[in-house]
Chains A and B, each alone.
Chain A
Amino acid sequence: MITGAAVFDHPVKMESQKELTGFLSEMASYEMIEGNFKQTKTIKKLNRDFVSTGKFIIWNGVGIFWMTQKPFESFLQVNDKGIVQIDAKGNKKEISTKENPVFAEFSKTIQSVFSGNAKEVEKNFDVYFEKSGKNMIIGLVPREAAVRTVIANLVMEGSKNLEKITITDGDGNPVVYEFSNHVLHKEFKMDPLYIYENMKGK
């Protein structure tokens, strides 16, 4: 059994490249994926976990949408145009990627990881890959030293779907995203403007 940390012993090789591309292509083949998430943020220094749960939507070409429901409500939308955050009181904060290349880069990277954009992923990360049975693990290490001081690495795990992502920060604190109840849509029709209301209402 391959663990998340062990994947970094397996850089992508010729033979594993095909499987990696296949896995990422499978992720990218769906118009839209929605489901539930559980986020566990562990702060080692405080010996404490911060757990939140909610719903997510990964919509190819439109963006990713994150509705945190518990313990506090908040909404995050990331797409090519920018980042939108809405807090529990409905206060909205928008940052345009046009005006801020840092957010543009952040937005592009987040989207590439979740939508399986292999080209973009390989541009920003050193990629590691291992397969154990049906389970596939992808390890990503930011190429940028300065980025590694904030995000040391990412580990994506799944078989048919993306089931878990672990993001470890520069201090070694992991944030684990566990995904469940995936619903895959080959076609999906909804006005993205109403996603927030829609996710809030569910």
Chain B
Amino acid sequence: MVASIGKKTGIAIWVALHAILFVFGILSPWKVETDLYSVLPDSSEFKNVSEAEKALSVRTMRNVSVLLGHESFDEARHFAETLDSIFKNDEGFEETRLHIDANAMAEMREFLFENRYALQSPTVQKALENKDLPSLQNAALQKIYGAFSIADLNNLESDPLLLAEQSFDYFTLESPLMGGRFSLREGVLAATDSNITYVMWSAVLSPKTSAMANDGHVLNRLYKALDSMKTAMPELQIAKSGVPFHSFESSRNAQGEIAWISGISIVLILVLLLTVYRSPFPILCTVSSIGVAACAALACTWTIFHSIHIFTFVFGTSVIGVSIDYAIHFFTEWKKGCSGLEVRRLILKGLLLGFMTTELSYIALTFADFPLLKQMAVFSIAGLASSFATILFLFPCLPLNKNKVELPTLIPEKFISLYNVFMTGAGKKSQNVVIAILLLAIFPGLYLLNIETDMRTLYTMSDELKASEVLSARLNNLGISANYFIVEGESIEAVLQSEERLVERLNAAKQDSLLKNYLATSSIVPSQNTQGKNYERLQGAIRESSVSMQQYLESIGIASDSVFQNSLAVKPSFLTVESNLPQSLKSLLNMLWIGEVNGKFYSAVLPLHVSKDFDIHDLAGNIPQVYAVNKMENINDTLTRLSRVALLLVAIAYAVVLIILVCVYKFKTAVRIIRAPVLACLFLAAVFGYLGIQFNFFAIVGIILTLGIGIDYALFFKEGGRNNLTTTLAVMLSAATTVISFGSLAFSSFTPVATFGLATLLGIVCCFMLSPLSRD
């Protein structure tokens, strides 16, 4: 039926299909997702918190810090000030931080005094809970009469128990954030390590700043500024820390590397195609068909999903691989001197079967319960459909020269003769022996295979960045763990109350040395319930111990308790997450309080310096809406699960393909056709097993690519005939272009790209070698 479609009708169908896709694509919002959170599992538990986690990550992943070190503190500070002056007003940064406000302590004291009845240190809370007023009086006496106390006694009449001073100690001197080696020196934070004094400069990237490296990127400007400083002062030590540096460096390296790998690949492919076709026309048509297919795939994905994930682009390269193969088959046949419509008729069956089988694999992936996998599948389905339509409806209408051109057939001839040795007489037995040996060799490799995606093994940071991170961690000594808690609630109050239940457990865990400390919103802004209790307990304790309190007041020379009683009689206004806090507490709250996400409220609780026995799931257990999170583990588990599901679905798709092929051909032939890509995939998996390389998500993308493209080789050999030089040349060209373009990626130092490249290289080469055996 397709073969009978005329040129005009074909063009009309092609234009209509693409016009619809492009109109929908243009009307849809264009958005590219780059974060890994889009691939989080769809379990109901994580559905609730993944958005909150994402919001938290987006915020924390924008922080960078640079340590500028020199033997002389003055030099280090000078360079830090220069850096700050360069970037203070840079739009790439939301804010930069160098100088510490000299009035920060006074601001903190004033805030804690104003909120002394609602916000109290855990020691004071515990004393009031136990109605232990004497211990509070005792602590105050020590501050009043003890030596070297820095307590502010100006408000002694209205705060005779020095509650504000107790809180001041808790929030400043005893704060977990004070555990690092940085201290205030001439208005900046400085720390000394191995006789080098480091001054800390930190900044927050603007939300608009991309994680991917480009020439105008603010981090590019920062690197240049730091390089100039290093040139001016070679002894200057520079340590960079923060996720944006890693994203920037890895994307910059990957971009650079992929650019030269792609450059070499493109040149090689062009030389190859020009050598074969001796005309740039087929190449221009092929490139155009790939371009249109990629645009159609994008338009379709945007229309359906309203965004596209960066991983989809990686997977979508299969569209390029298959599109180029279709075009090669078309133009190789055309060079024999056929008209466009004749070419279509000649290649239609092989092309159609190849197209259907590949599309079936992708359709199977749409049944996966992973939005990302669905997106990848839709992208590939649309791209391939566009490419297929271009070959069927547009290419036959091209102004093709009907003169027969001699194609280079020396290599295909040698290739065919080599296979004929195996396909005739005694060679047939050798063929079976080779396949049997291959199968036997595959099994141990498959046994050794480790199907797992661990993102940590996919990224190797540069020595410089690693040393910087180690130094930064040593000097900051904050001890933030990879495990943390996300607390959820229907209201702000519900979140804070759940946090307080968790904090009780964390305090007990602290006693058991399971962790040293933690950071929680409720430590800064307790729930309204706790603030109310704090106030009521203090009132109760004072009321019940009026005689003791009177004696205490006299002992510190306060004759009348009226000022104190009057202040205690007025119910204080309680703190909320929106209250005006001192800058240091505000920064901490910004880090911990996630806020409203999809109608619910969230916060993060960060355990610090956890021991190896710290069990985050145990601590979160049985507290409703408190979730233990390990972001890296979540992503790894998800990608591993995603990989397994993808493999399973492709296996099912291949079973369907086998049934279709059995209907078209005989069972034996169908098995022969499917044998090449399946054995190729088993072979590449076995090689990964033997080499001990993790069979990760990116290797599985390579498998899917091999299955999608590889079956076409077998089908073309089946349809064209093994001894058909044109078919052999076309398949060889297809395999060569795929091996050059994807296989070259195996040499990348960027692990995900190298894994994908290696898998594709092994799969395609093996598939190509086995494909001629599909013919009887």
Min distance, Cβ B166 to any Cβ of chain A, angstroms: 12
Contact with A along B87-117 (1 / 0, CB 8 A): 0000000000000111111100000000000
Contact among A88, A144, A151, A169 with B184 in the assembled complex (CB-CB below 8 Å) = A144
User: Is B100 within 8 A of A146, CB to CB?
Assistant: yes
Min distance, Cβ B693 to any Cβ of chain A, angstroms: 43
Alpha-carbon separation in the docked complex, A93 to B103 (Å)? 28
Contacts of B103 in A (CB 8 A): 146, 149
Interface bracket on A: 35 or more
Alpha-carbon separation in the docked complex, A123 to B138 (Å)? 35
Contact with A along B297-314 (1 / 0, CB 8 A): 000000000000000000
User: Is A85 within 8 A of B555, CB to CB?
Assistant: no
Residue among B138, B153, B154 with most chain A CB within 10 A: B153
Alpha-carbon separation in the docked complex, A34 to B280 (Å)? 98
Is B185 in contact with chain A by the CB < 8 A criterion? Answer: yes
User: Is B173 within 8 A of A100, CB to CB?
Assistant: yes
User: Is B182 within 8 A of A101, CB to CB?
Assistant: yes
* Minimum CB distance partner of A52 in chain B: B145
Contact with A along B738-766 (1 / 0, CB 8 A): 00000000000000000000000000000
Is B427 in contact with chain A by the CB < 8 A criterion? Answer: no
* Minimum CB distance partner of A51 in chain B: B145
User: Is B556 within 8 A of A50, CB to CB?
Assistant: yes
Contact with B along A80-109 (1 / 0, CB 8 A): 000001011101000100011111110000
User: Is B145 within 8 A of A71, CB to CB?
Assistant: yes
Contacts of B146 in A (CB 8 A): 52, 66, 68, 74, 76, 85
Alpha-carbon separation in the docked complex, A91 to B182 (Å)? 30
User: Is B141 within 8 A of A72, CB to CB?
Assistant: yes
Quick one: given A43-B156, A48-B557, A149-B102, are A87 and B142 in contact (CB under 8 Å)? yes
User: Is A110 within 8 A of B148, CB to CB?
Assistant: yes
Is A46 in contact with chain B by the CB < 8 A criterion? Answer: yes
Q: How many A-B residue pairs have CB under 8 A?
A: 111
Question: For the complex, would chain A's binding face be called helix, strand, loop or mixed by DSSP majority?
Answer: mixed
Alpha-carbon separation in the docked complex, A76 to B156 (Å)? 22
Is A147 in contact with chain B by the CB < 8 A criterion? Answer: yes
Quick one: given A102-B173, A149-B103, are A89 and B138 in contact (CB under 8 Å)? yes
Is A164 in contact with chain B by the CB < 8 A criterion? Answer: no
User: Is B144 within 8 A of A88, CB to CB?
Assistant: no
Contacts of A170 in B (CB 8 A): 106
User: Is A88 within 8 A of B179, CB to CB?
Assistant: no
User: Is B147 within 8 A of A68, CB to CB?
Assistant: yes
Contact among A50, A110, A149 with B144 in the assembled complex (CB-CB below 8 Å) = A50
Is B181 in contact with chain A by the CB < 8 A criterion? Answer: yes
Quick one: given A100-B173, A100-B179, A101-B180, are A43 and B555 in contact (CB under 8 Å)? no
Contact among A54, A74, A145 with B142 in the assembled complex (CB-CB below 8 Å) = A74
Alpha-carbon separation in the docked complex, A72 to B139 (Å)? 11
Query: Can you list 19 A-B contacts with CB-CB less than 8 angstroms, sorted by A residue number?
Result: A37-B147, A50-B145, A50-B556, A50-B557, A52-B146, A66-B148, A68-B145, A72-B142, A74-B142, A87-B139, A88-B138, A89-B138, A99-B179, A100-B174, A102-B172, A143-B186, A144-B184, A145-B187, A169-B150
B interface, CB within 8 angstroms of A: 100-106, 134-135, 138-139, 141-142, 144-148, 150, 152-154, 156-157, 172-174, 178-187, 555-557
A interface, CB within 8 angstroms of B: 37, 39, 41, 43, 45-46, 48, 50, 52, 54, 66, 68, 71-72, 74, 76, 78, 85, 87-89, 91, 95, 99-105, 110, 143-151, 169-171, 173, 177
Q: Which 7 pairs of residues, A with B, have the shortest CB-CB distance?
A: A145-B102, A52-B145, A66-B147, A146-B102, A74-B146, A72-B141, A45-B154
